[in-house]
Amino acid sequence: MNYTFLPSTSLFRTTLLGLCLVIAVSSRLFAAEPVEVRVVGLEGAPLKNVNAALALPPGLVKEGSVDKLWLEHFSRQAESKARMALEPFGYYGAHVTTLLEEKNQGGYALLVTVTTGEATRLAEVIVTIQGAGAAEPLLLEKAASFPLRTGDQLLHDRYEKAKNGILATSRELGYLDAHFSTHEIRVDPKTASARIALIMASGPRYLFGTATITGATYYPEDLLRRYISFSAGEPFSYKAVGKTQFNFASSAYFKSVSVVPDKAAATDLQVPVVITVVPAARRTIRPGIGYGTDTGARASVGYRNLSLFAPGNTLNSEITIAERLQGIGSAYTIPSSQNIETFSTIQFNLQRELVTDTESKLAFLEPSRTTGFGEKRLGTAYVRLMYEQYNVGVESNSSSLMLLPGLRFFQNGYDDLILPTKGWHYALETRGATRSFISDATFIQFIAESGVIIPLPWRLSIKSRVKGATTVIHDPFTDVPSSLRFFAGGDNSVRGYAYKSLGPKDASGDVIGGKNLLQGSLELQRAIFDKWAVSIFYDAGNAFDDTSALKLYQGAGIGLHYTTPIGAINLSLARQISVPDPQLRVHFTIGFQL
């Protein structure tokens, strides 16, 4: 349930300020160390590398007691350790001195003073591709764009990263035998100069051979081969192998999968691939319990049959009982041999929803066809036949019959749909009905939404979402059933306000839903520890009938998040802004919401 109480403004501001400080600085308590190592004369990455090289070995300090002989030996080694730690940055002539002193208050201080001297610069850079890959445009581009050039400071990390990038690209293009016949850096400390010679022998280009699938004899071959992302005769690619592994592993049909290319068995440079799968149980029952502030406590029972009427044709059914939502739904899905993102579905749903000012009883039947266009783009065409009985404010005992055709388009670029750390999505939908064919109203609706997660330094990230919708109608809007009207407020809308509590009101003050919707959110999140995060957020939005009456309700607050394998558990405390008698509201959700 939602918890509402009246706070003092100072309490809320103090809490919000405290969270900002936690996000900005993760403070920790520490005591004086028995041995302090201090490096002067450096900054940035060189300082960090030298500090890492001079980390005290385990055992030198035991239970607060310092092994002095070991420390003196470590002090004598510190000069050479520091010089070696500077070489990756091109400093081969650095001057290092050390001073070990016993501190007055107890313990020891090791002072390491560094003068880097002149940085080593490149007098010559040779990067060459030999063999069959010498005519490969992408490899030639990699060689030509090598990040170190004549006159640049020698930086070993850039050299290694670029070298490994060339090798990875060659193998991704199918040159599995690629190797560097020459890879050397010749340094002359006297002249502070260096020469790079990097010659890659690509070897021949391998192709994909035959893919063999074992362990899933129940399912037809054309159903299984939809998950293979390569064809025989195409250039071999570990990326395609990984995509195939991901496709099989993401399917409900299989419990486990291994995709193994057998290079040793290659003939005529064609690499056979063996795919071994372990089928999942074809019939499963999934009980569940949960809680959300929008729906209240809930319990559910799901049933899944992976092969109803035909192998691979899937039935998913679920019964849900919650405080404010009860329903039963089933979806029968017929996969297409075209690709794994293309399928046909028939859905049937019965549900009852009870919100403060609205009660809805809905039944619908919806056949649809979803087509995958690649790059995580999905398009769906559907026709929904629905009947709804509803009470909205003073509109009691209303009912509506609708035949609602529609189109949806969706694309996402998240790195993970359960626990994403970066990415984006957008969705577009249009739907409508006409009195001239079955429906009790004539209208058309357009809905658009998007979201983005942007990672930032210091374990920070920005999360944002926005949604807008509009209805074009000439009939009285009261002819549109409540499930097709727009409301705002709730966990995934404007926090600080109850679920579906924002929108146009009738003469009695009840929220009855609007023709249009505009809402958005901006959240700054800071990870703390391994599985915890805190956040501050700002939400705004409302449902409305026309722009002249648009008022955006606002809420801001703090959040606590805990990561689990099924998604994040999110607890938010939001306060209403710029309203008389502002209140606090607790919101609780589980999982990532697109």
> Is the pLDDT assigned to residue 236 strictly greater than 50?
yes
Give the model confidence (pLDDT) of 61-113 as tens digits.
Answer: 887 788 889 999 999 999 999 999 999 999 998 999 999 998 877 789 999 99
Q: Nearest CA to 178 among 125, 240, 230, 128?
A: 128
Contacts of 445 (CB under 8 A, 6+ apart): 429, 430, 431, 432, 469, 470, 471, 472, 484
d(CA 572, CA 534): 10
Structure tokens at 134: 């010498």
pLDDT(6) > 80 = no
Number of domains in the chain: 5
Q: What is the pLDDT of residue 591?
A: 64
In whole angstroms, what is the distance from residue 247 CA to residue 255 CA? Answer: 12
Residue that the structure tokens 């750390």 belong to = 421
Q: Are 250 and 290 part of one and the same domain?
A: no
Picking from 544, 549, 488, 508, the residue whose alpha carbon sits closest to that of residue 355 is 488
| Inside any domain, residue 344 | no
Residues 132 and 227 reside in one and the same domain: no
Q: Say if residue 275 is in the same domain as residue 297.
A: no
Instruction: Verify that 297 and 232 share a domain, yes or no.
Output: no
329 and 299: one domain?
Answer: yes
In a domain, 12, yes or no: no
Tokens describing residue 125: 């850079």
150 pLDDT above the threshold of 70: yes
Q: Is the dihedral of CA 412, 415, 420, 424 positive or negative?
A: negative
| Any domain includes 352 | no
CB atoms within 10 A of CB 594: 15
Residues 57 and 136 in one domain: no
Residues 227 and 312 in one domain: no
For residue 25, name the pLDDT band (cuts at 50, 70, 90).
very low
363 against 15, higher pLDDT: 363
Predicted confidence band of residue 234 (pLDDT cuts 50, 70, 90): very high
**Predicted confidence (pLDDT) per residue in 347-402, tens digit:** 999 999 998 889 999 999 999 999 999 888 999 999 999 999 999 988 888 999 99
250 and 293 within one domain: no
Question: Does 562 fall in a domain?
Answer: yes
Q: Mark 536-551 as b/e (b = at least 16 C-beta within 10 Å).
A: bbbbbbbbbbeeeeee
Please choose, from the candidates 87, 159, 168, the residue with its C-alpha nearest in 3D space to the C-alpha of residue 126: 159
Q: Tell me whether residue 95 is in a domain.
A: yes
Domain boundary, last residue among 115, 144, 165: 115
Asked if 555 contacts 584 with a C-beta cutoff of 8 angstroms, the reply is: no
What does the CA dihedral 330, 335, 340, 345 come to, rounded to 10 degrees? -40
| Position 345 in a domain | no
The one-character DSSP state at 384 is: E
Residues 475 and 572 in one domain: yes
Residue 262 identity: D
Cβ contact 33:56 at 8 Å: no
Lowest mean pLDDT among 135-144, 192-201, 220-229, 412-421: 412-421
- pLDDT at residue 127 tops 60: yes
- 340: in domain: no
Select from 153, 184, 201 the last residue of a domain. Answer: 201
* 180 lies in the same domain as 245: no
Q: Whole-prediction pTM value?
A: 0.76
Please tell me the predicted confidence (pLDDT) of residue 520.
Answer: 97
Q: Tell me: do 427 and 462 sit in the same domain.
A: yes
Of the residues 237, 260, 279, the one at which a domain ends:
279
Residues 257 and 289 in one domain: no
Question: What's the CATH number where 234 sits?
Answer: 3.10.20.310
d(Cα 276, Cα 279) in Å, to the nearest integer?
Answer: 10
**Residue 522: which CATH number?**
2.40.160.50
For 297-331, how does the pLDDT look when each residue is reduced to its tens digit (9 = 90+)?
A: 889 999 999 999 999 999 999 999 998 899 999 99
Q: With respect to residue 29, please indicate whether it lies within any of the assigned structural domains.
A: no
Dihedral sign from CA coordinates of 227, 229, 233, 237: negative
Tell which residue, 44, 123, 114, has the closest CA to residue 84. 114
**Strands of the 254-261 sheet, one edge to the other:** 207-214, 270-279, 254-261
Domain region containing 305: 282-335
E strand or H helix that includes residue 2? none
